[in-house]
Chain A
Amino acid sequence: MRNHIFMITGMLCLFFIKTEAQSSLKRLKQTNRFHYLQTNLHVGYLSETEQFDLSTSGPKNRLVYQYLAKNQRLLQKGYVRSVALSSFRSRFSLDFIGSLNDDSFFTYQLKLQNLGLSFATKWDRTSFFVGYSNIKLGHNPKIDPVTDFTANVLNLDLGFTQDLGVSFKTAISQKYDFEAALYTGGLLAGPLISYAPDLNAEQRMGRDTFEFIDPQYTMSWLGTSRIGSPLFKSFEYGLIAMAGKVGEGIEERYLTRIGADVVKKIKEKFKFESQVYGGISSYKIRNDSFDIALQNNIEFYIKSTFILSTSNAVLFGMPDNEDRTVTKGNLVNSFSYVVSPHTRVRLNHFYNYGNLINENWGITFQLVTGIGKR
């Protein structure tokens, strides 16, 4: 186990200021503050309730506000002497959770999606980020990070996909990048504010109409890292690793993971991603387990305005002293039409499967539209 842990470091990255000698700054300053408001409607038929309802899988029904500010001082100065703040980004969502068929379950949740500072450095392809963002383990670029409906194996493995931390990325040669990040291990995973206006008497037991996040840091942490080819290659590959202490109560555990990822892109027409990793989960109060996670995504861009995608994430767990393999998986198929740069409609199908969960499926319609600058 000790050897497993020694193999791990942590990381991710974000923005990068590219030096383009071919480009000149415009004489008049361009806007450096960008506001964007986006809404995501996601409804359909769900096998779990056998009703037409808000989707319980994939992107939630939500209103998202995003604010991005580029550092005007850096833009004007034109270069980075050593390290400099390049941008600030924040993204909050108001999620609508519940059922169209029962008001008492309806909850409004204010959720942090992204909040942090990006720093540029004087070195090419070297940057770091401090704040709350998606956990980056391997490369899996999404076209729409907030609203894309793709399976995410991190959600199955960790139970959360975003975290507070520091991430770093640098080139270690012309061909390879090194990425590492250190996170809190799920400190801000829950909603910031929860509002349930129509709770019935039974639901009110031990629960308030308004609830605010009460983060309790339990010495959890999560580190991720990747060494591999950079994003601009049409064929990417890398070694990935993750370690940490996450979870609470029965889920509290140390985990170590090591694996690999590959991405194949063909022009702007096709993208295939595969990620596999495995390692030990060492629980505090239950049997340890050897876990293997696998994720595959395929996307076809048909005339660039239609997108056909399928993704599957599955987690296999092999607990010590048990003669069985536990599984949980998520299969998602999606057909999208790009109406405009801000609007797209999707027809989705999802299937949650495995012996650790109640199998269910759904066919959903998704409308994403936004206004503003991003």
Chain B
Amino acid sequence: MNFYYRKSVIQLTLKSIMILAICMQTGCYSYKWNDTRSQKNTSSPEIIRSFFDQFPDKIMRIKAISPSDSYRYDAWEKDEVFAKDSLAIHFDIVELKLKDMMPEGTIMVDFTFQDGKGNKVMVPDFDLLRLVPSFDAQGEHCYPELLMEEFNRYGVSLRKEFDEFKIVKGKSSSDKYKEALDRVHRASITNGCLSAGKWEFNLNSEDFSDFSKRLHSAVNYNQSKIFAHTWFLLDTSFYQNLVKFKNPDLDVKGFDVAGFDYNKLSKKSEEVIIDFNTLRNPIKKIWNTKMLEVGHQSERQIELLDMEEHYKIEYGLFLNQDPLSLSRETYKSILDPKKQPIHLAQFRDEGFYSPSTALSFDMNWLQYLDTISVSAVDVATTDCLSEIQITGKWAPFAITITNIDLAQIQEQKLYGLHFGFNVYPKGRRYNPAQPTISFDTDLMPREYEQSVLMTDTKTGKWVDNFKKGLSKVYITCPTLEKDVLDIYLISYERIVPLWMGRVKLPKQLREKVRIRNQMYNY
């Protein structure tokens, strides 16, 4: 053997650098929901195709509506062009063109959203089923699941940096609006709540003009602003077929999946006894936790938790007699019987907040919640998968959160869950993040599916959380040691936190979480 292989070594080094450069240039592997190369392609289902055949050129056209400048309650900062013009950036024409071939189990369309000035946003190869609820529950559980699926809002976000949508500027659009379109960095298509088939389209822009100033703020203001917001209704029969295509075995006798009456279905659902053993693996053990704090007992001051609550309060969706009183409220005072009911702006019609028709909720019952229990769910992969139950000796209702992987709870962020079965995050990527120990809802293994349900403590029957004024649960760790969980219950329409509890995990569980993060997490 010779000593100096200088030439070889130089070649090797150059090759290594080239490999890295190619990786960085061409992009690394990313999960593609509509990756036709790795999936079996089939032609579009006939029943679905027949809907498109009714339209000229087989392109389904839907009239959409957008808010005008006078609508003040779209709760986030707005781009300077938002709703300023009656035609531009009002994407009131929605077109869906069905693809001829598509991966099996998908309904692929090309979406086009067009405004009154010819500006177009095109979303190619979009799987409509990504926005159609998946019914994971069995038997009678399907009734409350149907209700909660359609009265929760969830959607997917399309990213500019991955070319997941394209913008074509209209010839008749002014330079101001053409320039404005360059600021758009996110598009989203959302299955809205209120009724089945009510969908939304959003554009978000970026404004870095005062970003450095925002960096010094204690509040997490970012650069994102609402650019455009549009609502559209899918044909009821078409939507019904999408639901059936995705859930061929769904059986909700007496209810139309795309046109049910809310109160009737809610009443029917409240007859259903929730059997948690069908929603998760058996409970292995109950951890010996210690309650450190209950917000209404310690009279902790209410602090808004995320930016959604921040903007919703700022835009006036909290409607008690003295809306400014929230800054003085504690978790005890807000439950005071004298202050009941609390008033929150109603989310209604096409999807607007209506302060003039506030909804009222008597939240006094939350004062009876004073216990958090944590149990280990028996799965093969980890001891950190847990069930969390919030209840109390005199509590009329209990809230149960199944299949929480405690290794995913962190100090920097809030882990959020809506009420429901295999709950969807409010916003997620169209092309999901690759599964690690974290999963996109559509890629979630059955034994990890998370549910958040309110039940009657005496009967075990499902309770309509919307009617009891709750819509979401937040879980976080107050410290980096991650041996304590803070749990918050958030009001209807995610406007304000109404209850909090703090529980200390036993040493053994704390260490399991730490080991799991070290051994399995990045």
Contact = CB atoms under 8 A, between A and B. Distances in A.
Interface string A18-31: 11111111111110
B31 interface: yes
B270 interface: no
A352 interface: no
A317 B305 CA distance: 60
A206 interface: no
Contact of A143 (B11, B214, B518): B518
Interface stretch (B59-67, B113-121, B138-146, B218-226): B218-226
Contact of B413 (A24, A81, A125): A24
Given A20-B438, A26-B306, A180-B16, A143 B515 contact: yes
A215 interface: no
A223 B512 CA distance: 35
B521 A232 contact: yes
A271 B412 CA distance: 29
Interface in A169-216: 170-174, 178, 180, 182
Interface in A303-356: 303-305, 320, 338, 341
Interface stretch (B363-371, B428-436, B463-471): B428-436
B507 interface: yes
A168 B262 CA distance: 53
Interface residues of B, number: 88
B74 interface: no
Interface string B420-447: 0000010111000111111010000000
A204 B109 CA distance: 81
Interface in B390-440: 408, 410-417, 425, 427-429, 433-438, 440
Interface in A260-277: 265, 267-269, 271
B28 A170 contact: yes
B254 to A, nearest CB: 34
Contacts of B159: 79
Interface stretch (B87-95, B337-345, B476-484): B476-484
Contact of A124 (B19, B30, B307, B383): B30
Given A141-B519, A171-B29, A282 B429 contact: no
Nearest to A338: B511
Given A5-B8, A29-B218, A174-B31, A182 B438 contact: no
B434 A171 contact: yes
A268 B425 contact: no
A234 interface: yes
Interface string A136-154: 0000011100000000000
Nearest to B411: A30
Given A1-B2, A243-B12, A268-B512, A21 B29 contact: no
A121 to B, nearest CB: 7
A172 B380 CA distance: 27
B320 to A, nearest CB: 20
Given A21-B427, A303-B508, A27 B520 contact: no
A20 B522 contact: no
B416 A22 contact: yes
Contacts of A245: 9
A204 B275 CA distance: 79
A10 interface: yes
Nearest to A10: B16
Contact of B15 (A9, A29, A73, A168): A9
Contacts of B411: 30
- The interface centre, meaning the residue of A16, A20, A230, A245 with most chain B CB atoms within 10 A of its CB, is A20
A366 interface: no
Nearest to A8: B12
A180 B19 contact: yes
Given A122-B161, A231-B522, A170 B23 contact: yes
A15 B384 CA distance: 23
B200 interface: no
Given A20-B408, A82-B161, A126 B20 contact: no
B450 to A, nearest CB: 9
Contact of A171 (B28, B408, B510): B28
A254 B15 CA distance: 18
Question: What DSSP secondary structure best describes chain A's contact surface?
Answer: loop
A305 B522 contact: no
A16 B159 CA distance: 19
Given A122-B162, A170-B29, A304-B515, A267 B8 contact: no
A9 B20 CA distance: 10
Contacts of A305: 507-508, 511
Nearest to A126: B28
B29 A28 contact: no
Given A1-B5, A305-B507, A341-B514, A123 B481 contact: no
Given A18-B438, A78-B222, A23 B12 contact: no
B440 A254 contact: no
A230 B16 contact: no
B522 A125 contact: yes
Contact of B3 (A173, A174, A284): A284
A126 B30 CA distance: 10
B286 interface: no
B434 A223 contact: no
Nearest to B416: A24
A67 interface: no
Contact of A27 (B4, B30, B310, B483): B310
Contacts of B416: 22-24
B381 interface: yes
B178 to A, nearest CB: 21
Given A143-B515, A234-B381, A282-B3, A29 B520 contact: no
B480 A19 contact: no
Nearest to A287: B1
A83 to B, nearest CB: 8
Nearest to A145: B518
Contact of A29 (B219, B435, B515): B219
Interface string B188-211: 000000000000000000000001
A81 B306 CA distance: 23
16 contacts: A2-B5, A18-B522, A21-B428, A22-B408, A22-B416, A23-B413, A27-B303, A28-B303, A29-B220, A72-B215, A79-B159, A124-B28, A231-B520, A267-B381, A304-B515, A305-B511
Interface of B: 1-5, 8-9, 11-13, 15-16, 19-20, 23-24, 27-31, 159, 161-162, 211, 214-215, 217-224, 303-310, 380-384, 408, 410-417, 425, 427-429, 433-438, 440, 474, 476, 480-483, 507-512, 514-516, 518-522
What 7 pairs between A and B have smallest CB-CB spacing? A21-B428, A304-B511, A16-B522, A123-B28, A170-B28, A23-B413, A268-B515
